[in-house]
Amino acid sequence: MVAFDQLPAAAGLYDPAQESDACGVGFIADLSGAQTVGTVRDGLAALANMEHRGACGCEVETGDGAGVCAGMPREFIRAAAAEAGFGDALPQGDGALVAVGNVFFRREEPELRRQCVQLLEQELAQVGCAIAGWRVPPTDNSSLGRSALLAEPEVAQIFVIPSEPATQEHFETVLFLARKRTTHKALQLVAEDEQPNAPVYFCSLSSKTIVYKGMLRTHQLSSYYPDLLRDDFKTHVVSFHSRFSTNTFPAWSRAHPYRFLCHNGEINTLIGNRNWMAAREGQLQSDILGDGLKSALPIIERNNSDSQSLDNVLELLVRAGRSLPEAVLMMVPEAWQNSTHMDDKKRAFYQYYSSIMEPWDGPALVLFNDGDMVGAVLDRNGLRPCRFYVTNDNRIICGSEAGLLPQIPSANIVQKGRLQPGKMLLADIQQGRIVDDAEIKARFASMHPYGDWIANKSFTIQTLLSNPSPVCELTAVPDSFADENAYLEWEEAS
């Protein structure tokens, strides 16, 4: 049996640390917020229409990966819980908080699974959550190829509720901490030479969204997960992804979407991004995450792809209090340094955050979805396609190419366009509207006096060299030392 995320060790020109992929991505959202089965079915149809943007192995039945991230289907989760025998354990009411997560465990290792479940239950209890029940979602692997079958995980579905009344944002925060702690501690349950391969993987664990994915081809997704074809599986937003692992090995856990994003392209600054994140972990602080932040480290999990690493950091920024679009702009900025036409406030916004977060440069098209907002950003290289159109029934369809849903009459389309380099497309479902790129960036650029902070609180190497005394005293280093002790004596005296 192969672990569901197992990858070969580095050998010759291959190194799993340099894996990346290029794919087909998209989303469909009902701006009214109405949950319908049509949104799900159209999402699955659009995904199938991007089969050519994914890939498969020599076995045509084994895909590089396919998946969907749906806004929490409220009717379905209540029906599924009732069918599993714990429907009465869920809190009632429209505002009741219920988190659902799809979890991968290794097959044929029941003791390891038991230990992972015990770890998760302990971590959830520590952050004030209770488990309403576990469900085994039906799966059908009859269409899978040999490689996908060898690595197929055991899929389980967990239902979690807060033990005490809580806001949704607090609930999401503690779920994040419990999941990260469980993931890190679970690695200690396996032998050291197996540790790059996790014994448990959370596709998602949230009260806002749910992810179904796997080492599948696009047309296999709904047959493998019959949940997606149920008439009560209704949602208001769905993002989807067909994976083409250009220089990578496919794995169940590496299929998209991840907890917030799905991605077409590659992150070519990845090694530097990972190293800088590791370097700054000792200085990370958060009023929201508090002391729990340390137990969530490392933020970028072991053996992650470029897209997974991007999602790990994006998730941290959101859980620490930033909005999803603001966090995306921090990580994927437009070209601002040499722009002669950019507003001063927007330039100051980018300049300020450039000292906190290095750009994750592609070429990359990044789609993001948290159930309340869904959108896309094209990095400043602009080398990945993204088309969108808005219909007269208040829906937005966005994806790697036009014609994802060819059955929509042209007369029903009220707006269409393409995403340009450095621009963001945002659908705010809570507000029921599409937010223009200029409005998004003007809002964030005006939130704080970034220009004043830069002018009054920053300094450059040139500042130090021309006027060192206000900041620090610069001591000339002698050209040479007789030995190491002489250098240590000079350093101590300085």
Positions marked catalytic:
23
Residues 494 and 491: their CA atoms lie apart, in Å, by 5
The answer for residues whose C-beta is within 8 angstroms of residue 388's C-beta and 6 or more apart is: 376, 396, 397, 398, 399, 416, 417, 418, 419, 425
The three state secondary structure string of 411-438 is HHEEEEEECCCCCEEEEECCCCEEECHH
Residue 32 CA to chain centroid, in angstroms? 25
Q: Which residues contact 248 (CB under 8 A, 6 or more apart)?
A: 16, 19, 20, 21, 254, 305
Taking the C-alpha atoms of residue 376 and residue 453, their distance in angstroms, rounded to an integer, is: 29
- Alpha-carbon distance of 62 to 68, in angstroms, equals 18
| Rounded Cα–Cα distance for residues 364 and 169 (Å) | 29
Tokens in use for 17?
């640390």
What span, in angstroms and rounded, lies between the C-alpha atoms of 380 and 365? 10
Q: Which residue has the tokens 């199938």?
A: 48
DSSP SS3 for 65: coil
Beta strands in 172-289 (DSSP E): 200-202, 209-214, 237-242, 261-265
Nearest-angstrom CA–CA distance, 21 and 227: 28
Please state the separation of Cα 45 from the chain's center in Å: 23
Distance of CA 389 to the CA centre of its chain: 24
Give the other-Cβ count within 10 Å of 228's Cβ. 21
Do 307 and 331 meet the contact criterion of CB atoms below 8 Å apart? no
What are the backbone dihedrals phi and psi of residue 298, each rounded to the nearest 5 degrees, phi first?
Answer: -75, 145
Q: What is the DSSP string of 161-202?
A: EESS---HHHHHHHHHHHHHHHHHHHGGGS-GGGTTS-SEEE
In whole angstroms, what separates CA 116 from the centre of its chain? Answer: 23
